[in-house]
Amino acid sequence: MAENEPIRVVVTGAAGQIAYSLISMISNGDVFGTKQPVILHLLDIPPAMGVLEGVCMEIDDLALPLVKGYVKTTDPAEAFKDVDAAFLVGAMPRREGMERKDLLSANVKIFKVQGEALDKHAKKDVKVLVVGNPANTNALICSFYAPSIPKENFTAMTRLDQNRAQSAIAKRLEVCVSNVKNVTIWGNHSSTQFPDVFNASVQSSGKSTSVYDCINNSQWLEGEFIKTIQTRGAAVIQARKMSSAMSAAKAAVDHMRDWWSGTSDGTWVSMGVISDGSYGVPKGLIYSMPVSISNKQWKIVEGLKITDFAKTKLDLTAKELLEEKEEAMAVCNA
């Protein structure tokens, strides 16, 4: 049987913490399947090249048959040439005392360059996942500077939040995490996000029960649970003295794998995608929604019940994203 043609996969911030876990998972077939060879395109800034050299030595030493080569570079044109999939991990992290607009303007510069490089050099059906924060708005900027690539091909990662929420429910119910289905993250990957389990279910001994019925404590579900998921990133930083890396890499793998291979019938996943006005979300924002996926195309899951409580949460996170979009666009047009 002839071997599949290798696909080209770019990882930015390739010398960083998240990429360190992510690269080995991509190389191992966790994302694109165990029969799909890959050529890795690894992009980072000049001061990180020494570390990236070490990462490449480790890629060699993994001795994985799917890796058909790698490109390590500081040049976006080289990094994005002919890529099929992009993990945009590198971003300017928020530092203490930094205003959000400072963070946004630093990231506009990064994602402008990357958007332009994608536009000029990547395949037109490239699948772009933005991991670097503020992920939703970074994805929007990137798409803005890549007008020849469909807006649907730019997504932001809220899968880490979905995984956190799914895990918290499973832990509370003392069930396996795979028994919890259809947890939704709405909105921004920030502390305004809304982890929603109103339409989620728990499978046990062959039957499916709503999470609300199983947990039977709406005060916890609409209070402490939401707060815990919204602030989980900060809690990890406080404990680990560094931001989530292993879990963020795994979430990026989950997001891209589902986009590549599809979701199973009756299930959905959360992705920051371009809004078409569904659920009253303003059009043109990159907003986390429940999506089902087939043939590498995502579709917003329509007709889910949105309670009045949920509606206020959806509006609140949309408001934050509109503000971010305005600030970012002001920088873009400056």
Q: CATH number for the domain including 93?
A: 3.40.50.720
Q: Which helix (H) or strand (E) holds 316?
A: helix 308-333
Query: Is 86 in the same domain as 70?
Result: yes
**Is 333 inside any structural domain?**
no
pLDDT of residue 1: 57
Residues in the annotated binding site for substrate: 94, 100, 133, 164
Structure confidence at residue 2 (pLDDT) = 65
Q: Quote the pLDDT of residue 247.
A: 97
Domain boundary at 156, 175, 190, which? 156
Cβ contact 163:255 at 8 Å: no
137 & 186 share domain? no
User: pLDDT for 8-55, tens place per residue?
Assistant: 999 999 999 999 999 999 999 999 999 999 999 999 999 999 999 999
**What is the reported pLDDT for 95?**
72
Place of tokens 């339409």: 199
- Tokens 């396996």 belong to 176
The list of the chain residues with pLDDT below 50 reads none
The CATH number linked to 307 is 3.90.110.10
pLDDT at 204: 85
Do 163 and 110 share a structural domain? no
Binding-site annotation: residue ranges for NAD(+)? 44, 107, 131-133
Let me know if residue 250 belongs to a domain: yes
Q: Which of 131, 156, 181 is the last residue of a domain?
A: 156
Among the listed residues 41, 121, 189, 255, the single catalytic one is 189
What confidence score (pLDDT) does residue 334 get? 66
In a domain, 1, yes or no: no
Q: Are residues 11 and 139 in the same domain?
A: yes
Which residues, other chains included, contact 4 with Cβ-Cβ below 8 Å and sequence gap of 6+? 35, 36, 37
Phi, psi of 41 (to 5 degrees): -110, 115
In the chain, % of residues over pLDDT 70: 99
> Do 135 and 45 share a structural domain?
yes
Q: For residues 79 and 222, what is the distance between their CA atoms, to the nearest angstrom?
A: 44
Q: Show which of 156, 176, 198 is a domain's final residue.
A: 156
Parent domain of 104: 7-156
Q: What is the pLDDT of residues 74-96, one digit of tens each?
A: 999 999 999 999 999 999 877 76
Do residue 305 and residue 281 come from a single domain?
A: yes
In this structure, the answer to whether residues 279 and 147 fall within a common structural domain is no
Query: Mind listing the pLDDT tens digit for each residue in 121-135?
Result: 999 999 999 999 999
For tokens 């005392």, name the residue. Answer: 97
Judgement on whether residues 99 and 133 belong to the same structural domain of the protein:
yes
Rounded CA separation 11/91 (Å)? 12
Residues 151 and 170 in one domain: no
Distance CA 147, CA 327 (A): 20
Residues 166 and 240 in one domain: yes
189 catalytic residue (yes or no): yes
